Amino acid sequence: MKLAIIIPYFKITYFNDTLQSLSNQTNKNFKVYIGDDASPEDPKQLLDKYKTILDYKYQRFRSNLGSISLVQQWERCIALSESEEWLMILGDDDYLDESVVASFYDNYNVFSQSSNLLRYSSKLLNTTTNTISSAYLHPIWEDAKTSYYRKVNSLTRSSLSEHIFKRDIYNEFGFKNFPLAWNSDDCAWLDFSNNKPIYSINDSIVFVRISDLNISGKTDNLELKQKSQLSFYKYIITKKHNLFSRDELLVILRRYEIGKTNIKKLSVSEWFFLFVYYLKFFKIKPLKKMFKRFFKSIINKA
């Protein structure tokens, strides 16, 4: 068996949709691992309905780790799995169309030696508006940095559930621990790709739910999401700049500057950081504009 589907479980509201979609797979060559994050909503009765249909392992953890570090909850759920070569982390409110696993095996010989990372097309299911988006499609082969830069420019979307990655590459890089794990998946795709392109399957769909029960749909966590986004921009600027063009880096650097400025006036050390990287990614016009903003900030402070 090549594929493990790992579900970090906490909310039961839409969990049946997730399990039903797995039981509907036309290819059953996968095992499901469910890590219960000390949820107050016991799923065992629901899981009993699927015990003769799905090959799954269920583990209830004693502590609620996801409220402290969602990445660490993912890690202990992955640790439940056995020797499967490829891993999918599926949200407990997301679901798959019936062909997702079949298309993994149908395309296996195409991507298995050439890529560490597979993604499916996705649709957003918004429970507030009760709407389903059009499918987000991707180039069959695409560099991870190009994919992320499309996301920066709102030309695509990306999340954890629609990706499958190699266990070996996960063991090598792991997930970075950003607040709410809000950008931990984005960062992982840059790491996990490891100079190989992402392979996309567009004729199978992962449905990603947006609701007030999950991090994506909540509005009381916007400050932490912003903190995560800025931390990830800084990580790209300082650690991953070799992947991006100068123009792309200047766009990300400006986004970082705007985000920091929206929170509070920048300190001298923060301006110095910006100066160093505007100089490193040198283009005269962006550098001059940065200096104008700096002097304007000094004048307004006086």
pLDDT digits (tens, 9 = 90+) for 211-253: 876 566 666 667 788 889 999 999 999 999 999 999 999 999 9
CA neighbor of 181 nearest in space, from 260, 80, 73: 73
Rounded Cα–Cα distance for residues 34 and 207 (Å): 19
pLDDT band at 167; cut points 50, 70, 90: very high
The architecture of the domain spanning 3-210 is Alpha-Beta Complex (3.90)
**Which secondary-structure segment (H or E) carries 252?**
helix 246-263
Structure tokens at 101: 């696993």
Q: Where in the chain is the domain with CATH 3.90.550.10?
A: 3-210
Q: Region of 174 please: left (phi>0), alpha (psi -120 to 50) or beta.
A: left
pLDDT digits (tens, 9 = 90+) for 32-81: 999 999 999 999 999 999 999 999 999 999 999 998 999 999 999 999 99
- 13-39 core/surface letters (b: 16 or more CB in 10 A; e: else): ebbebbbebbeebeeeebbbbbbbbeb
- The pTM (predicted TM-score) of the whole model is 0.93
Between the alpha carbon of residue 71 and those of residues 68, 106, 212, 263, 267, the distances in Å are 9, 31, 21, 26, 31
pLDDT digits (tens, 9 = 90+) for 120-134: 999 999 988 899 999
Nearest to 188, CA basis, from 273, 293, 87: 87
Q: Which amino acid is at 155?
A: L
Q: What does the pLDDT look like over 80-93, one tens digit per residue?
A: 999 999 999 999 99
